[in-house]
Structure 1
Amino acid sequence: MSDQDPVANGSTDSEAAAQGPPPASRPIPDRPAEDPDVLNRRELFRIAALAGPLAAAQWAAGGASVVAAADDRSDAAEGRAPAYGKPRPDRGDASAPRRYAMKKSFNLWALPYPDAMSLADCFELAKQAGFDGVEINFDLEGDVSAASKPRDLDRVRELAAKIGIEISGLCSFLFWPYPLTSNDPQKRARGRELAAQMVRAARRLGTRNLLVVPGAVYIPWAPEDEPVPNDVCWQRATEAVRSLIPLARECNVSLNIENIFANGFLLSPDDMNRFVDQFDSDVVGIHFDTGNIMQYQFPEHWIPLCGRRIRNVHFKEYSKRAGTEFTLDSFRPLLDGTTNWPAVIAALDRVGYRGYLTFEYFRPFPHWPESLIYQTSDALDRMLGRKA
């Protein structure tokens, strides 16, 4: 995002335009000779006031591209998006865009499944829209659920393979009604039981990635009578994850701990790293969600610190324009928020991440829901340098 300079001498573009062309006795000044590589913005605004915006644009044309190219190099080095009006590699008007090797995926919450679409419909749409994979959600009932038999899960894997789409990971909302750190022992036990079923389901589906919500101090949308003290939450979460490690290793599934936005637990990269590292296990990693920390923090700051612990990624757009009040409306379609995506992708690339970038969104479009998927595919293509 470019800086906005104040208009010199208090003139505005509309006032400048109203003055019309300059008198013949006041020719448009030449471009400053003393420093041809720097656009003198104050001089530019003075010209706009005298001669109108068009003349100012003509005067600037020679030097602006030099400055913009230099600024773009600086932007790229610092992970910022190039400002409007500058040469934009991602728009095809400077050079070929940087290509990244990550893969495209979306979570099925972005579609009206299973109410209005079947699993086959979702897989076919993903393939047609140019995605590499789809993230599936484990529920109490349905195609992939606690009620599924092994053969049911095999059929889902076979369906995906037949259509030509990968299953990028397994996710579940069940960690909220059955937290692994709940004050209720029965809920904790049920949570562990369901998590073990998820590990086995992930193996059947042919994915190594299982998203794990390790626990919560407090859950705003499912509050318990008393919040869980931080040290108790840490202890219970540690015990729960440790209990799953032998099964995860047997199933060749990674327990990917997700950073959450409102659970009061693991709210810094240092805490997240310390939690994951204590297991000293190759089957425990991080599921990094870009949107879940945007309310108060920035994903590009976490990624270099979490590094190669990151096993899977949710690309969830967030708009800080919503303020600090939590609402699902803060999560937006990709590129319709305030995330610094060039910085995020560059940071992931620098830590060697080559896995899935999974779009997560909780509000399917009520009409033509497939349009969200095509829109997301196009956005990811541009972000990954596949399309200019």
Structure 2
Amino acid sequence: MLKSLNQWCFPAGMPLEEVMSVSSRAGFEAIELNLYAPDGVGFTLDTTAAEAEAIGRLARNYGLQLRSLSTGLMGRNPLSSPDASVREQGRRVVLKQLELAQLLGIDTVLVVPGVVNAETSYDQCYERSQRELVTLAGEAEKRGVRIGVENVWNKFLLSPLEMARYLDEIGSPNVRAYFDVGNVLLFGFPEHWIRILGERIVKVHVKDFKTAVGNGGGFVPLLAGDVNWAAVRTALQDIGYADTLTAEVSPYAGDPHQCAYDTSNQLDVIIGRK
């Protein structure tokens, strides 16, 4: 498995070359960049092909692979929205991810499928988001890129059995699972999810969580929470997963560079290199 970290592990606005330089020195093999609004650092909705290729060269210069592309824009533009214009904007975000991914040889884009809230019931979220993903699957297949559906705290897809069914019903080899280890700890065991989702998993996010806290304040640095990392590693090995483990942790307020070094060492332990 490869050590990777998300751009969010650094403070917002940090120059991309600094992000990559620190990541390389810290021993990471890959970095997961994000798609931002037009004023963001790195990939944005307005990024041209030439700009994207320059980012790809920068990553290669620092010895970093680009294997996945994330985004936070789906939170404001869920594919489950009752508003057709909001769903259209969500599709635009995913299509831009797919475009950039194909251009740079990135094999997976992360997509949060929808959110259950006061205006969108569980069944509506299921039906609308699945319908949108069926449409987007054709574009993903055409571009040779996979859509990785992530499990997040969106009150949706709360069981590995349901998530497996949801993906299987879409019926595309290019719509798979982007599994987040820490996000299921409050209501399940990540090692169980891994074995049930099995070969559907194409990418993995890692974060740690203290279940006694029970809210967003419970997310802690890797190895400091309640994830049974030995069980997670064994489960990933059992399903034959050998791709990136991408850390998604909050940057340190006191020294944002140190977070990368500590996370790299922690991933060595999780992967079994130490």
Same fold (TM over 0.5): yes
**Of 152, 156, 159, which residue of structure 2 is paired with 1:260?**
152
Residue 134 of structure 1: which of 31, 34, 37 is its match?
Answer: 31
1:172 positional shift: 0.8
Q: Which residue of 2 aligns with 1:342?
A: 230
SS at match of 2:205: strand
Say if 2:136 is the partner of 1:244.
yes
CA distance in 2, matches of 1:121, 1:252: 31
Hey, what does 2:172 align to over in structure 1?
281
Alignment partner, residue 26 of structure 1: none
The CA distance in 2 between the partners of 1:163 and 1:378, in whole Å, is 19
311, 316, 322: which is aligned to 2:207? 316
What corresponds to 2:3 in structure 1? 104
C-alpha separation in 2, matches of 1:254 and 1:189: 20
Find the residue that maps to 1:321 and give its secondary structure. coil
Measure, in 2, the Cα distance between the counterparts of 1:140 and 1:371: 27
Residue 206 of structure 1 and its aligned partner are, at CA, apart by: 2.3
For residues 247 and 159 of structure 1, the distance between their equivalents in structure 2, rounded to whole angstroms, comes to 27
Paired with 1:382 and 1:297, the residues of 2 have a C-alpha distance of: 23
In the TM superposition, residue 340 of structure 1 has moved relative to its aligned partner by 0.5
Gaps (5+ residues) in structure 2? none
**1:33-72 map, 5 Å:** none
Q: Secondary structure at the match of 1:194?
A: helix
For 2:147 and 2:135, locate their aligned partners in 1 and report how far apart those are by CA, in whole Å. 11
Change (3 A) 1:230 1:113: closer
Tell me the TM-score normalized by structure 2: 0.96
Larger RCO, structures 1/2 (Cα 8 Å, 6+ apart)? 2
Q: What is the CA-CA distance between 1:346 and the residue it aligns to? A: 0.6
Give the counterpart letter for 1:126 in structure 2: S
Partners of 2:67 and 2:223 lie apart in 1 by 22
2:190 is matched with 299
5+ unaligned residues in a row in structure 1: which ranges?
1-101, 219-225
| Structure-1 separation of matches of 2:196 and 2:19 | 35
Q: For the residues of structure 1 that align with 2:37 and 2:100, how far apart are their CA atoms?
A: 13
Report how many residues are paired. 272
Cα drift, residue 230 of structure 1: 2.0
Q: Deviations over 1:192-231 (max 9, x none)?
A: 111111111122232111111111112xxxxxxx331222
User: 2:73 aligned with 1:174, yes or no?
Assistant: yes
Provide the C-alpha distance between the structure 2 equivalents of 1:277 and 1:138, rounded to a whole number of angstroms: 27
Q: State the percentage of identical aligned residues.
A: 36
2-side partners of 1:321 and 1:304: how far apart? Answer: 25
CA drift of 1:136 comes to 0.6
CA distance in structure 1 between the partners assigned to 2:194 and 2:263 by the alignment: 22
SS at match of 2:3: strand
Deviation at 1:167, TM superposition (A): 1.3
Q: 1:379 aligns with which of 253, 266, 271?
A: 266
CA distance in 2, matches of 1:372, 1:106: 11
**Structure 1 residue matching 2:193: 3-state secondary structure:** helix
- Could you tell me which amino acid in structure 1 is paired with residue 138 of structure 2? P
User: Whole-Å Cα distance in 2 between the matches of residues 287 and 385 of structure 1?
Assistant: 22
Residue 292 of structure 1 deviates from its aligned partner by 0.9
* Rounded Cα–Cα distance in structure 1 between residues aligned with 2:97 and 2:262: 30
Tell me, in whole angstroms, the C-alpha distance in 1 between the residues paired with 2:266 and 2:92. 38
What residue identity is the alignment partner of 1:238?
Q
Q: Counterparts in 2 of 1:158-173, with a 5 A limit?
A: 158-173=57-72
CA distance in 1, matches of 2:244, 2:207: 13
Kindly provide the amino acid, as one letter, of the partner of residue 227 in structure 1.
Answer: E
Runs of 4+ more than 6 Å apart: none
Cα offsets for 1:299-357 (capped at 9, x unmatched) = 0111110001000000111111203xx22x21111011111110011101101100100
> Partners of 2:219 and 2:233 in 1: how far apart?
18
Q: Over alpha carbons, which structure has the higher Rg?
A: 1
Letter in 1 for 2:70: C
Aligned residue among 87, 102, 117 for 1:203:
102
Q: Distance in 2 between matches of 1:227 and 1:282?
A: 31
Query: Residue 192 in 1 paired to residue 91 in 2?
Result: yes
Contact 1:134 1:165 in 2 (8 A): yes
Aligned equivalents of 1:279, 1:385: Cα separation in 2: 35
Equivalent of residue 125 in structure 1, options 3, 6, 22: 22
